[in-house]
Each structure stands twice: as C-alpha cells, then as structure tokens.
Chains A and B, each alone.
Chain A
C-alpha cells in the first residue's frame, strides 16, 4: 500500500501491523515535502533530523509492543507559529526568519507524546494575517498555491497546513484560527479542517495574534482524522490558563442527528458555492433532521473585529513601535498595524461585554442541534496573483465566522464538491461550545455518503 492519501485510521493499522514502518513513513513524506513543497510554497523548514530520530524511536517502541495510539509513527506538519526547540519558528514573517525558541509548544509536546513525528514547519501568512493582508503574497516564503491549481491560492493563514495535506506531503497538519485561518485553507485545498472550541487546545508556545480568539486545530484528509488528532492534542495545560479542564474523547454520535441552516445563509454567495452547498444539504437530509434557524440582528462582525484589532495591536505593540512592519512582505502589512493602535479602550471593553451576549445568543439559537451548516467560504478560490476583492468579489457577510470565532465555537470544514474550474468548495458544520463531537458526527456521516474527500489533485497522486 502507499501511505500517501491514506486516512489516519487505516495508516495506524498499517503501522501497528508492521505493514509499513515509521522510518519508511518518515522517509516517504520527507521526500514528498522536499520534492513537492517548493512547487506550492508550502514548506518553511524540513525537520529531517528530528523526524528521523523520532521515527526510529517509534519503530523500536512498536517492535517492542509499546503502542502509544493511532498517531504513533505518523508524520505531521506544523504551522510555523508553533515553537520548536532549536528549530527556527518564523511566524511566516521576514523579521522573524531567524527566530529560534528553546522549548516546544505544548501541542508539539502532546503530539510527541502520542508518538507522532514532526516532519516540517509549514508556510503561513505573515503574523497569521494580523496585519491585514489583502492578497496571497503575504508571506516571506511566497504565496502558497492550492494543490488543485498553481494559479490559485491555498487559503490562509494556515496556508501550508492545508496545501501539504491536500498534496499528500503529510498525513495531517496543525493550523491555527483567529478568524477563518483553518476553515479557509481547508476550503481552498479540499481537505478537512477542525477549529476546536476556544480553550480546548493549549496555545502555549504558539504565536499570539489575539489571546481570546486564537485556536489551534488539525487539518486532515477527513473529519474522522480531525477527531483522532484532536483527542491527542486537547486538554488542560497549566501554561495556558484559558484551557478547559473538560476531558475530550472523540466519540461519534450515530443517531438522532439534528442540523440547522441559518436563514439566508447563501445570500450573496458565489453560484458554484451555493449549488454545491445545496447538494451537500440534500446529502445531510439523508441522515439528519434539518431545520431552518435565524440568528437575530446583532453586531457580530463589529464585536469580533474590535477584539481582534485591539488584541493584535497589543500583542504586536513592540513590533510596531520598533518599526519592524517595514520588513513584511505584503505592502499593505507594512502599514497595517498603525490604524489598529487607536482602538479606544472603552470600545474594546464594550466588545468584550457584548461578547457574552453573543455567546448566549449562539447557545440559545443552537440548543438542540448538533451542528449549524453553511458554506465554508462565500466565494470560490481566489487567484494567486490578485487582490481578493478583485479576484473574488462578494457581498456576503461572514456571520458564521464572526459569531463562531467571537464566541469560541467549534467548526469543521469538509469538501462539498468543485466549481466549474475544478477548484474545491467546502461546507462547514459549526457547533455549541465543547461539542466538537457533534460537528464531527455530522461531518463524518456526510463524508461516508459523499466521495469528495477521496478525490485528490492528479499531479500529486503517486
């Protein structure tokens, strides 16, 4: 069997049975990262030495019958905002290209403990997009392409995480989302991406863009894979006081699934996205009770945007004061931080006060549902060399993104088909706080009835 494009559950069985060894896996994926990574601008640093050391350790442990779980011996890639001891962590930004930390991020440690093998640090939009990028060329490693087309963007800011999984360069990757940064690359690259509940996964050792909005989560071939990875990385961490003490176990619910669709959710959405979403919902209706809901009028976007602007300005205060933004790649990011420095404290606090109202609205409207469904993105995949507003103009408001991120709610994006140019579209399932299993149950069942996740870009298929 080839391990490339093999979902984690099957890959794990092959590793445990000895059909494929962790060292072979590491060699295969390191070779693919080295060969194909540059074609996509998806890789920042290969962690070859560390990968081979950990792969050999995994191989010995498995031979001795010391099994650590489904990720044992499986290579992965991390968005280059996760600290890795002794290996550069660039945050996608030229001013930090030589930055090296002494310790691993908690999520890296958790995956080490699970026996997974870090193979690469993956490309990302500079500073996770916090400086207000308006086009794909906003990383010192260049614009990252979706494996489906060299002329189209991978999405961001977890660009390399989405592209590497879609091109079969790693079996899974870790990304981060403040507002859209996991769901966007999952959508544009045609893979599954899970944004966990805020506080589910420790942010310790990950670059902070917005302390109360940042979430780390997996990008994988399937929603099922996302559940497997989440179980390995979730959990309380005394070094991140926002982490929840709720235990997470990945358990699927098979019966009685209920899915809500917000009224007007396809208003202003690009035609191919709308068409594929409607087809996807017909598949969902085959196994779940589907009802329409309505989120009340509320300044969702203003709340989340104000929190993001104020916290990003504070998180990068020193960076801004030292004039380091001049060294960024995208011209708009070089002056992006300055306007954010004048968000008034009273307005930031008003946003934080309204946030509780927003969370209660979400809880009330979504109660009784396993997931709320919507298109993952309103537009088709943007071109790689144009500003977003010129490449994919649209009028849809991102209420799901504003509400979901502002209230810290989990969501998973999975492929829903292709547009007329053969580029992927996605459907997202968003759930109540701490109900990752609800959204995963819906997504896994959806994927068991559709084949979009089994289609891979031809030029990367072995």
Chain B
C-alpha cells in the first residue's frame, strides 16, 4: 500500500475506527487509496502561484455574467 494512503488510512481508523466493522476496513482502505490516486493525479498538473481557486464558483462564459 502506498505510504501516503497507509498514513491516511491510519488516520481514518484513529478517527472513526470504532464505527467501522472489521470486515468493512478493507473497503475503506481501498476508498482511501482511490482518494490518494485522484490527489496524485491532480498534483501532477502544474499550476502557477497566481492560479486561484474558483472561490465563489460561477460557470465560465467568455462574454461574462
């Protein structure tokens, strides 16, 4: 298992382990792995310091609102 996913899975178990049945842990682990895979995909894409998030999101049209 990827070390980042392992660390985050440990965090999930720390926070919510008492609510997850033993037979469900494997599925939760796979879900954490998928989340980390998505994050890594995002991190591969380079952005500049000036690239801001859509804080108040509005669908983009070139001719404006």
Contacts and interface: CB of A to CB of B under 8 A. Distances in A.
A357 B60 CA distance: 10
A356 B51 contact: yes
Contact of A352 (B11, B43, B54): B54
A340 interface: yes
Contacts of B59: 197-199, 359, 407-409, 433-434
Interface string B1-13: 0000000100110
B30 to A, nearest CB: 8
A339 B19 contact: no
Contacts of A251: none
B42 A433 contact: no
A335 B28 contact: yes
Interface residues of chain A: helix, strand, loop or mixed (majority): helix
A190 to B, nearest CB: 29
A341 B12 contact: yes
Interface string A215-250: 000000000000000000000000001101110000
Interface in A276-321: 298-299, 301-303, 305-306, 309, 320
A391 B65 CA distance: 43
B64 to A, nearest CB: 10
Contact of B19 (A323, A342, A355, A360): A323
A343 B28 contact: no
A461 to B, nearest CB: 39
B53 A363 contact: no
A338 B20 contact: yes
B61 A433 contact: yes
Contacts of B21: 335
Given A241-B56, A309-B35, A347-B39, A335 B62 contact: no
A303 B19 contact: no
A57 interface: no
A244 B38 CA distance: 31
Nearest to A246: B65
Contacts of A339: 12, 28, 31-32, 34-35
Given A323-B19, A338-B19, A347-B42, A354 B35 contact: no
A350 B35 contact: no
B16 A341 contact: yes
Given A245-B65, A335-B24, A353-B53, 10 more contacts: A198-B59, A242-B57, A334-B24, A338-B15, A339-B32, A350-B45, A362-B60, A408-B57, A434-B59, A434-B61
